[in-house]
Amino acid sequence: MSENGRRLKGSLKVFVGVPFLGIGGPSEAHLPRALKSIAAQRTTVQMTDPWVTQTSSGQGETRYRVARKMNDIMDKGVKSGCTHIWFVDADCELLPTALDDLIRLNVDIASGVSPTHNDWNETTAAWELPGGGLRFYRRMDIEGKVVGESEVVATGGFCMLIKRRALLRYSKYHAPLRYHTVRALKAMYGPELQFFIDARRMGFSVRLHGGVMCGHLPEYPLTYKGGEDKLHNKIRAVKWRRPTRWLIIVDVYDWAWDIASRELLKALPNSTGRIVSIRDFNKVNPMQYDVVLIYPWGMHNIISRLSPMNTVVCMAGGEQLNMMGSFKKRCGRFKFFGACNTVIQDRLKAELPDKTVLLLSHGVDTQRFKPAPPDNSVFTVGWAGSHERILKRLFFAREIAEKAGFYLDVAGFKQYPHSAMPGFYQGLDAFLVTSTKEAHPLVVYEAMATGLPVVTTRVGDVDQYIRDGLNGFILPVNASVDSFVKVLNWLRKDPALRARIGAAARQTTLEKLSWAEV
């Protein structure tokens, strides 16, 4: 009977496998101690005699030779008909309750923890989060940050229990779940860490049991630094964690989604990442990132390669609400969605009631976009956007400028890098937006942060930030040319009005749209 007095089901049968580096390897002297701790398990379930599989001395890195033997154990365990496969490393020693503690978790894959040394092995390292679940780390992310100066806490093959059924299920990622045995197949991780990540993305339940402490011989036996309880407490006290890795997929570089994404990565705490365009997507492996954020969801060759477990699909354009049928067909398998304003968020929640819909409202760098008095001999109004997109209505802006008789300065797509936009805004007296649809128009908020009075159509979420006549001007999308001319003439004839509206616009961005507030 186990330590807590609850007997496990007698129908369970555990296949025991021991990967062994072989004669002359570092675990040779410790194998008897590992086998003794396996035999000493206080359990009521059936256990097979340990199957010790020796790695070959052929070509290839040691960790990949070990990975091949781990796969051999899985294959033999599956054929044995046992309910579980239990891996115990040849240089490990276990508490007598280790097996029962792992079985009681009742998850697909359960592992104990152990201190280990910083050597060649990019092994799995993980912590159990307070609210449940795991956070994984590569060895290179955590060196010297866990137990002491030269050791880390790891989980993996030295004490891991897998339900047999988890090794039979096929998916788009693996056929079926096994260790990666070739470096080219795992560009970033060691095979143990990649195994856990693959398992999570295939939908298996994975649990790290902080109470199952394993000794790692010879440096870290169970009595290491005063015993397993002391070591366990030391491990659990660690607060360090590595940055979250983001992959953000945009349509093109140096335009709206790319610009917003760059600002987002700078503002996110404890995060790092990469932004790629649809043209460069084939250069990255999305499986290497913790979170994938995609804007161009209509690209089937890209969206089909993303996992629903860690992908956020963004609906970032107001016109995309008219494409809901196509959106649901392409993206219905995903769990997480992002919306750039509350109108889009509410619509997505209504259309996808069983999904998580996040509000992803981008901020403005108010240190870069700040007021500077223009030096214009004529009243100058700015317009920014893609010339080719009909919904932006550059032709309409030119009609307004021609009738009002002011100079229209245009920052078109690929004409102005984003680094030049603060200077563009600072050379203006006012800013004009003529779009028929937007979501969260960054140019509006960048212009406001620069202290410009903005005259805009009622698109996207502008009415959440602009109060007509107080910190900007909002007109209906179907407003006439004369309506725009009338407002812009007010601003041209009254410099004090321009200054007052611009100052109020700047204050709004500081209070509501800076990255510190978003």
Residue with the larger pLDDT of the pair 153 and 302: 302
Spatial CA neighbour of 13 closest among 90, 86, 93, 73: 86
> For the whole model, what pTM was predicted?
0.56
Q: How confident is the model at residue 271 (pLDDT cuts 50, 70, 90)?
A: confident
In one letter, which amino acid is 373?
Answer: P
Spell out the CATH class of 380-513.
Answer: alpha beta
Q: Two tokens at 337?
A: 């969605």
Whether the upstream peptide bond of residue 96 has omega within 30° of 0, thus cis, is no
Q: Closest Cα partner for 55 from 86, 24, 79, 83? A: 24
> Is CATH 3.40.50 what the domain over 244-359 is classified as, yes or no?
yes
Give strand ranges (E) for 69-124. 84-88, 92-94, 109-117
Alpha-carbon gap, residue 414 to 160, rounded angstroms: 54
Residue-level pLDDT at 402: 93
pLDDT at 326: 87
Supply the CATH classification number for the domain 13-236: 3.90.550.40
* The dihedral sign for the CA sequence 411, 416, 421, 423: negative
Q: pLDDT value at position 69?
A: 86
Q: How much is the pLDDT for 211?
A: 66
- In three state form, how does the secondary structure of 312-343 look? EEEECCHHHHHHHHHHHHHHCCCCEEEECCHH
Q: Where in the chain is the domain with CATH 3.40.50.2000?
A: 380-513
Task: Say whether pLDDT at 206 is over 70.
Answer: yes
Q: Could you tell me which residues come within 8 angstroms of residue 265 by beta carbon, excluding any fewer than 6 positions away?
A: 246, 248, 271, 272, 273, 275
Token pair in block for residue 228 = 């397993």
Amino acid occupying residue 226? G
Most confident segment among 203-207, 227-231, 245-249? 245-249
Contact status, residue 164 vs residue 237, Cβ threshold 8 Å: no
Q: What is the pLDDT of residue 445?
A: 95
Q: Which of 356, 416, 361 is nearest to 384 (CA)?
A: 416
Query: What is the total residue count of the chain?
Result: 518
- Higher-confidence residue: 117 or 322? 322
Q: Which of 151-165, 354-368, 426-440 has the weakest average pLDDT? A: 151-165
CA gap 176, 174 in Å, rounded: 5
Q: Which amino acid is at 497?
A: L
Question: 474 or 272, which is more confident?
Answer: 474
Neighbouring residues of 162: CB distance < 8 A, sequence distance ≥ 6: 74, 77, 84, 85, 86, 87, 108, 109
DSSP β-ladder status, 159-163 and 109-117? antiparallel
Residues 6+ apart with CB under 8 A from 380: 374, 406, 407, 408, 409, 427, 428, 429, 430
pLDDT beyond 60 at 151: no
Instruction: Give the burial string for 91-103 (b: 16+ CB within 10 Å, else e).
Output: bbbbbebbbbbbb
Confidence band (pLDDT; 50, 70, 90) for 228? Answer: very low
The answer for residues whose C-beta is within 8 angstroms of residue 83's C-beta and 6 or more apart is: 11, 12, 13, 14, 163, 164
Would the pLDDT of 161 be above 60?
yes
Cα distances (Å, whole numbers) of residue 331 to 222, 298, 358, 439, 505 = 49, 9, 15, 19, 37
- Quickly list H helices, 221-341: 228-236, 256-267, 300-303, 324-331
pLDDT: is 309 or 489 the higher one?
A: 489
Closest CA to 196 of 119, 133, 143, 153: 133
pLDDT per residue over 77-136, tens digit each? 999 989 999 999 888 888 888 899 899 888 888 888 776 654 433 444 454 444 444 454
Query: Tokens 């059936």 label which residue?
Result: 46
Give the pLDDT confidence score for residue 403 in this predicted structure.
94
